[in-house]
Amino acid sequence: MAEQTTLEIVGPTRLLLSEPVDLAEIPAYDGYIGVLAGHAPMIATLRGGLIRVHQGGAVTKQLYVGRGFVEIAPDRCTVLADEVIPAEELSAETARTRVAEAESAYQAAAETRDADEIERAIMRLAAARAMEEAARR
Amino acid sequence: MPSLKALRTRINSVKSTRKITQAMKMVAASKLKRAQSQAEQARPYAERMERMLGALAASVAGSPIAPPMLVGTGKEDVHLLVVVSADRGLCGGFNTAVSRFARNRTRALIEQGKTVKILTVGRKGRDFLRREYRKNIVGSIDFVGRKQIGFEDAVEIANQVTEMLEGQQFDVCTLIYNRFKNVITQVPSEQRLIPASIEGAPTETAGGPRAAYEYEPGEEEILAELLPRNLAIQIYRALLESAAGEQGARMTAMDNATRNAGDMIARLTLNYNRQRQANITKELIEIISGAEAI
């Protein structure tokens, strides 16, 4: 097997995952990035979405993460997220209410015409949609 | 000398007090275990956050984009003290220690000519500080009736602090709380929140070459998101440590109370028995001298 990188997923209240993986797909600010061993050092924000863990050519784990950060070093990849939910525990219903909430928040933000506010609302909506999509599967 | 009946009531009342303190000690012990494990589980996040922040802070150090939450407002005139205490008493010197620490700090700052604002977390600290510094208290939060402190509570406090910073209502923010040293010792301590005190940063130059990170989006945007979270996690950590400390202090206090009650019962029982003996002896003497008189 090729080299592995240590993936750590940490929520504010606990450490959820810490294990060597082949490849991790991370929903970073500008889209998904795949992290392999030896990746260039990088710090990015998360946009909310599914983290997919690849082991031996197959996806072994999927976890939903909310907003947060990822720190990548050649030998490790640390995800700090506000919220982490294993894909099996996602519920379509919560996701739907989240989307609805985010949509109305976006409407409210659009009215204020404050660019920062709108951007924040868009990010929130995107995270909620990602959760909904993840829950559907 | 109190009568036999009075002694008996007294013994019974101390016995029921002992039962209560014993139960409270047991409850505190089990809550302590829970609080400790909660504090433990929050540690990895805080550690990694610190590492990331260290890297970021080093890369923006000295540059004009550094946000006020990291480097402060450049002044030191208005201090905000966030004082974390417990909501409930019966835990020995726990609340008094942290409140007194906060009071001394406030007094020292005022003597230096600074303006002091206080945000209290927990009912006991608020009650204590209100006596002397009522007009300095700008807000108070408590968790009365709540079973467990969640991360959201810390976020709420952090938001309040952030709002005040954005409104330029203070220059320096310090967190005062009881640090959990071990089960029997809690140390009132302070931690500077704003400007952020980063431990990792100074070792930068000394500790070998550190990988240069790429940032996505820029440092500034990441910091803008990271700093409020860092604030929340620092507060969360303090809340959890304080909660664990409270239970530890209560356990120790209740253990002492139980022991004192035991001593007291022993003393009272001795008294009671002496008194009883004396009464019997007295009655015998009365009977005998009565019989002799005939």
Model confidence over A60-74: pLDDT tens digits? Answer: 888 889 888 999 988
Residue A38: what are its φ and ψ, rounded to 5°? 85, 15
Domain count, chain B: 1
Would you call B222 and A44 a contact, using CB atoms and an 8 Å cutoff?
Answer: yes
CB B179 within 8 A of CB B28: no
Euclidean distance between CA atoms B38 and B60, whole angstroms: 33
Q: Which two tokens stand for residue B218?
A: 């820029």
Domain annotation covers residue B275: no
- Residue B234 confidence (pLDDT) above 50: yes
Buried b (16+ CB within 10 A) or exposed e, A44-76: bbbbbbbbbbbbeeeeebbbbbbbbbbbbbeeb
Q: Is A40 on the interface with B (CB under 8 A)?
A: yes
Under the banding of pLDDT at 50, 70 and 90, the label for residue B210 is low
Among A88, A44, A37, A90, which Cα is nearest to A67's?
Answer: A44
- Residue B208 pLDDT: 38
- B192 is in which domain, residue-wise? 22-201+212-253
Euclidean distance between CA atoms A67 and A123, whole angstroms: 9
Euclidean distance between CA atoms B63 and B252, whole angstroms: 50
Nearest to B216 among A10, A15, A30 (CB): A30
Domain annotation covers residue B117: yes
Contacts of A14 in chain B (CB under 8 A): 41-42, 44
Under the banding of pLDDT at 50, 70 and 90, the label for residue B53 is confident
Domain annotation covers residue B119: yes
Domain annotation covers residue B7: no
- Residue B69 pLDDT: 82
Q: Is A8 on the interface with B (CB under 8 A)?
A: yes
Contacts of B229 in chain A (CB under 8 A): 80, 82
- Residue B209 pLDDT: 44
Question: Which chain A residue has the Cα nearest residue B230?
Answer: A12
- Residue B103 confidence (pLDDT) above 60: yes
Instruction: Chain B: give the shortest CA distance to residue A12, in Å.
Output: 6
Q: Is B13 on the interface with A (CB under 8 A)?
A: no
Domain annotation covers residue B81: yes
Domain spanning A5-87: CATH superfamily: F0F1 ATP synthase delta/epsilon subunit, N-terminal (2.60.15.10)
Question: Which chain A residue has the Cα nearest residue B236?
Answer: A12
- Residue A6 pLDDT: 92
CB B93 within 8 A of CB B251: no
Task: List the 126-185 stretch of B: residues with Cβ below 8 A of A.
Answer: 150-151
CB-side neighbour CA atoms (13 Å) of B35: 26
Whichever domain contains B79, its CATH number is: 3.40.1380.10
Does the active-site annotation cover B173?
no
DSSP letter at B62 equals T
Q: Is A38 on the interface with B (CB under 8 A)?
A: no
Domain annotation covers residue B263: no
Cis, peptide link before residue B195, omega less than 30° from 0: yes
pLDDT digits (tens, 9 = 90+) for B118-155: 999 999 999 999 999 999 999 999 888 888 888 889 99
Phi-psi category of B83—alpha, beta or left, where left has phi over 0 and alpha has psi -120 to 50?
Answer: beta
Instruction: Chain B: give the shortest CA distance to residue A17, in Å.
Output: 11
- Residue B137 pLDDT: 93
Among B56, B147, B96, which Cα is nearest to B253's?
Answer: B96
Domain annotation covers residue B94: yes
Under the banding of pLDDT at 50, 70 and 90, the label for residue B203 is very low
pLDDT digits (tens, 9 = 90+) for A55-113: 888 888 888 898 889 999 888 899 999 888 888 888 888 888 888 888 888 888 888 87
Domain annotation covers residue B68: yes
